[in-house]
Amino acid sequence: MKDAQAEDVCPICMDEIHSSVECVNGHAFCHACLERVYRASAPRLSCPICRVDMDTTIRNPVRAPEGGAVLTMRIGNTHVHEHRADSRNEHQWDAYVDVSVAVQDQSQDANDLPLVDEVIFNLHPTFTPRTVRLTPTTRPPLHAGARRFSVTRRGWGMFEIGIRVVLRTGVVPRTHTFRHMLSFDGDGSTASHAHAVIIPREVLEAAHEENVRRRRAYTYSRPTRRPLPSSSPPIPPSPPVGPPVPPA
C-alpha cells in the first residue's frame, strides 16, 4: 500500500494508478476503481474527492487526438414496473446503447456523424425476433448529447443481453461486444458499461464529408410543393360575343 497523498496513487484502492481517469479538478483514479464506484451510483457519477459531476467522456481514460474525436458507448437499461390483474409482475424495459462523440472543438456537434454502422441486440430465445439490428437511419439523435439505439420489450425475468456495436470502417477496433445483465433495481435506470474509442482524424473527416453529401442529396431530392387544387367548381368560360347589331 502506498501513500494516498502521492500523485500516482489511486485514493480508492491505495495503489499505483492504472489507466488514469481525472475529474475536472485534477483528482485521478484507476479506471477500474471508478467503474466500480459508477456501478454503485448509476446513472450519475461524482468525483469521490470533490463530488463534482463526472460525465462518461471525462471518466474514460482516452482523450481526443489532434483533429480526431472520442466516441463513448454507454450501455444499460431502463424499466417500469407494471402490475397486472392476474397478479403477475411484469416490467417494460428498454435496453440501450447511448453513443456520444466528443471533439476538441467544443463548438462542433459531432453526434449526428455517421460513425456507427450497426447495433445488434441478442435477446433471450423466448423473444421474437431474438436478434434486433438497428442502423443510424432508424434512430435519430436522442438529444444534443447522444444518439440512442434501443429495443423495448415486456417480461418478468432478468437475463443477459448480448450487444454488438459495429463502427465506421477505419476505426480500430471496429467491432465492440458487450454483455449487459438486465436489471430491474434502482429508480428505473441501470448502466453496466461505458466504453470509449478513439476516432482518427481521417475517419472523422470522411464522416463529415459523407454527412454533407447526405444533406445535399436530401435537399435536392425533396419534391417541389405544388399548389393544392381549389375546392370550388371551375368557372365556365363566358359565351362568345357576336358582332354588334347595326342600328335600324
Contact by Cβ (8 Å): 114, 101: no
Strands 69-83 and 116-122: unpaired
For residue 205, give every residue at least 6 positions away whose Cβ sits within 8 Å of its Cβ, in sequence order, or none: 67
Residue ranges, CATH 3.30.40.10, the chain: 1-61
Q: Give the 3-state DSSP-derived string for 99-139, with helices as H, strands as E and coil as C.
A: EEEEECCCCCCCCCCCCEEEEEEECCCCCCCCEEEECHHHC
Cα(44)–Cα(92) distance, integer angstroms:
22
Select the more confidently predicted residue: 175 or 18: 175
Q: What is the pLDDT of residues 164-178, one digit of tens each?
A: 999 999 988 899 998
What integer pLDDT is reported at residue 132 of this predicted model?
Answer: 95
Mean pLDDT computed over 84-101: 80
pLDDT of 41 over the 70 cut: no
pLDDT of 64 over the 80 cut: no
The alpha carbons of the chain give a radius of gyration, in whole angstroms, of: 28
Q: Around 169, how many Cα atoms within 13 Å sit in the side-chain half-sphere?
A: 2
Select the more confidently predicted residue: 188 or 11: 11
Cα(107)–Cα(150) distance, integer angstroms:
28
Strands 89-103 and 69-83: antiparallel
For residue 14, give every residue at least 6 positions away whose Cβ sits within 8 Å of its Cβ, in sequence order, or none: 1, 2, 4
**How many CB atoms neighbour CB 8 within 10 A?**
11
Mean pLDDT computed over 26-49: 73
Select the more confidently predicted residue: 58 or 223: 223
CATH code of 1-61, in short, is 3.30.40.10
What integer pLDDT is reported at residue 145 of this predicted model?
Answer: 46
Look at the domain 63-219 and name its fold: Immunoglobulin-like (2.60.40)
pLDDT of 48 over the 60 cut: yes
Q: How confident is the model at residue 59 (pLDDT cuts 50, 70, 90)?
A: very low
Mean pLDDT computed over 117-145: 79
Mean pLDDT computed over 44-55: 73
Residue ranges, CATH 2.60.40.1970, the chain: 63-219
Contact by Cβ (8 Å): 40, 28: no
Q: Give the 3-state DSSP-derived string for the chain, with helices as H, strands as E and coil as C.
A: CCCCCCCCECCCCCCECCCEEECCCCCEEEHHHHHHHHHHHCCCCECCCCCCECCHHHHCCCCCCCCCEEEEEEEEEEEEEEECCCCCEEEEEEEEEEEEEEECCCCCCCCCCCCEEEEEEECCCCCCCCEEEECHHHCCEEECCEEEEEEEEEECCCCEEEEEEEECCCCCCCEEEEEEECCCCCCCEEEEEEEEEEECHHHHHHHHHHHHHHHHHHHHHCCCCCCCCCCCCCCCCCCCCCCCCCCC
